[in-house]
A and B are shown apart, each in its own frame.
Chain A
Amino acid sequence: MEAVEHSPNTPLEYQTETGRLNILGFWIFLGAEIALFSTLFATYLVLVGRTADGPGPAELFEISGVLIETFLLLTSSFTCGLAIHYMRNHSLKGVFLWIGITLALGLGFLGFEIYEFVHYIHEGAALTTSAYWSAFFVLVGTHGAHVTLGIGWIILILIQLKQRGLTPDTSRKVFISSLYWHFLDVVWIFIFTAVYLYGMVM
């Protein structure tokens, strides 16, 4: 199961050449994701104020909902990190527990976000209302779609983990999905700052 030439302290996910290169490849993918989100941020920031006859962000954004979403995602990023910590202590139970909490927090985040979107649409701010709200829904919605995809992906990895246990293969998959999850929190930090905080302070 374990490659012999490595020290016992090398985490499982780095023990094979494939594992190491897949993790590197995923970092390169994250670089491309940064470029993708930067185009959406650029579009959003240019269209700030282009609300046509529709409502503006300051009228609709509510700090409490945004803070709940922010802390749910931030905490899920933390618990996801704990899952990796337990994986490196070879505790399969710890991985299931903390990934489970991570997914629950992620679902909570999605729930609040969907509620928020539905609320805006009821208040007359939909995708087609104005250039501003188009840019808003595309930027924040792309992030939400990533979270949704991440939850589905991690559930599939958990199923595989249940079947095969902690091997260099499954550890690598858990680790890479954790990078993805942390990355979604990084993107949210900038959405919180450039969309919500800016929108409410403006």
Chain B
Amino acid sequence: MASNNEQTNSHSHFPWSHVVGFGLSIVLTLLALWIGFYSGFSLTTIMVIVVGLALVQATIQLLMFMHITESEDSSVQVGTILYAVFIAVAVVAGTIWVMSFGMHYM
């Protein structure tokens, strides 16, 4: 991302990418809150949207705060995190799926 290279290489005086990332994080948090309490969607729809918003916010942190793409090793760094996210999704979704059988009385 261009903004990241800028962050790394030019010692600009104002940290724009951080301020934008911070603003976006606040907006995304409040948006998730609003969807949760006031949208009137079904629980499933709400959860799909707010988990999606959480993933967007996590990506913003990785790119704008943690500068995951700035190192010479950035492809390995991004690959590691993507693989870890795959493991996390497999563990969480797989566990919920497996454990859902025979739990219909909930």
State the A residues within 8 Å of B (CB). 9, 11, 14, 20-21, 23-24, 27-28, 30-32, 34-35, 37-39, 41-43, 45-46, 49, 63, 67, 70-71, 74-75, 77-78, 80-82, 85, 88-89, 178-179, 182-183, 185-186, 189-190, 192-194, 197-198, 200-202
State the B residues within 8 Å of A (CB). 7-11, 13, 15, 18, 21-22, 25-26, 29, 32-33, 36-37, 43, 46-47, 50-51, 53-54, 57-58, 61-62, 64-66, 68, 71-73, 76-77, 80-81, 83-85, 87-89, 91-92, 94-96, 99, 106
**B72:A38 contact, CB within 8 angstroms:** no
Residue of B nearest to A193 (CB): B54
Q: A20-B72, A27-B80, A78-B21 are in contact. Are A201 and B37 (CB under 8 A)?
A: yes
20 A-B pairs (CB sep. < 8 Å): A9-B10, A35-B88, A38-B87, A38-B88, A38-B91, A42-B96, A46-B99, A74-B22, A75-B22, A77-B61, A78-B18, A81-B21, A179-B66, A182-B61, A189-B61, A190-B58, A197-B33, A197-B36, A200-B37, A201-B36
Q: Per DSSP, are chain A's interface residues mostly helix, strand or loop, or mixed?
A: helix
A59 vs chain B, min Cβ distance (A) = 17
Question: Once bound together, how far apart are the Cα atoms of A150 and B101, in whole Å?
Answer: 39
**A42:B92 contact, CB within 8 angstroms:** yes
